[in-house]
Amino acid sequence: MNSQQDQQPQTDQPAVDTSGAATGKLAKLRSDPKGWIVFILAVAAVIMFFGSAFGSGIGLWGWQAGLGILPWTGLLALIALLVAIVGIILDRRKDRKTRWPLLGIGTLVSLGFIGYLASYAMTLASLPAIHDITTDLADPPQFSALTLRADNWDNIPGADDSAMRGMNPRQRWATLHQGAYPDIRSVRIDQPVAEVIEKAKRLAEDRGWDVANVDPASGHLEATATISLFRFKDDVVIRARAAENGQASIIDMRSVSRVGIHDLGANAKRVRQFLSDLSGTTTTAS
């Protein structure tokens, strides 16, 4: 009887333990909480920064809301860095081995991102809060097809500055502009006005600008440039005037941000680069 029972096939198989993999992953998380915290906070800060800009650019929320999120991303990265520093110090004091893979990556991401934000902060501190840049402060080129923003002369800094006491907003703007961007001046090109404007049109189109108006005969061009993930729009006007009996041209340019107070030097950079490409040099008009 016993032998017959022994010879019967055994159909019951041992159950496969599938909880081992999940338990192992959880154990890894528990084994390096500092590393995961630092890594997640650092990556979240970067995602929030670019996500807020991209969301504003595609119209999910306004640009003010997008910019409002940016300081919090810096705070998040700073918290990640502080957690990393404190964790490393505690490991040293308790003579524990620091787990570096996640902690190291998170720390590097935090440092890099904070440095990235710091560059913007330095620009904010070093340049005046203006958004209208031109080569001719006394007689800036005027828009005709495009419209200069209604608040262009509002919020110009310096009203409480003793050195600019009594100046109106436009005079303060000109003073701040000259101090920050003395190199931005009219340029002379040894080509007739119409040829210069045609070349300016090609350069604008190559840059992806939306050309709103071009008149080679009168030496006038207007266009709109779209920049950054925020999709900010800056309006540009170029004016060419004949010199030396029409054989040369004096070129002036103006670039104005449609929104915001501080342009972080973007308009000045645009004017410099465009006029340099247009003229082939950086020689100013005499």
| Nearest one of 278, 254, 271, 273 to 189, comparing CA atoms | 278
Contacts (Cβ under 8 Å, ≥6 apart) of 79: 41
Confidence (pTM) = 0.82
Strands, DSSP E only, in 94-244? 132-134, 187-189, 210-215, 220-227, 232-243
Helix (H) or strand (E) holding 252: strand 248-257
67-101, pLDDT tens digit by residue?
A: 999 999 999 999 999 999 999 999 899 888 888 89
**Integer Cα distance of 82 and 138 in angstroms:** 51
Residue 131 burial (CB count, 10 A)? 23
What local confidence, expressed as pLDDT, does residue 283 receive? 45
Helix (H) or strand (E) holding 5: helix 2-7
Provide DSSP, 52-81.
HHHHHHTTSS-HHHHHHHHHHHHHHHHHHH
The answer to whether the CB of 222 falls within 8 A of the CB of 247 is: no
Mean pLDDT of 17-46: 74
177-235, pLDDT tens digit by residue?
A: 999 999 999 999 999 999 999 999 999 999 999 999 999 999 999 999 999 899 999 99
What local confidence, expressed as pLDDT, does residue 97 receive? 87
The answer to whether the CB of 280 falls within 8 A of the CB of 200 is: no
119-143, pLDDT tens digit by residue?
A: 999 999 999 999 999 999 999 999 9
What local confidence, expressed as pLDDT, does residue 14 receive? 52
What local confidence, expressed as pLDDT, does residue 245 receive? 87
What local confidence, expressed as pLDDT, does residue 32 receive? 83
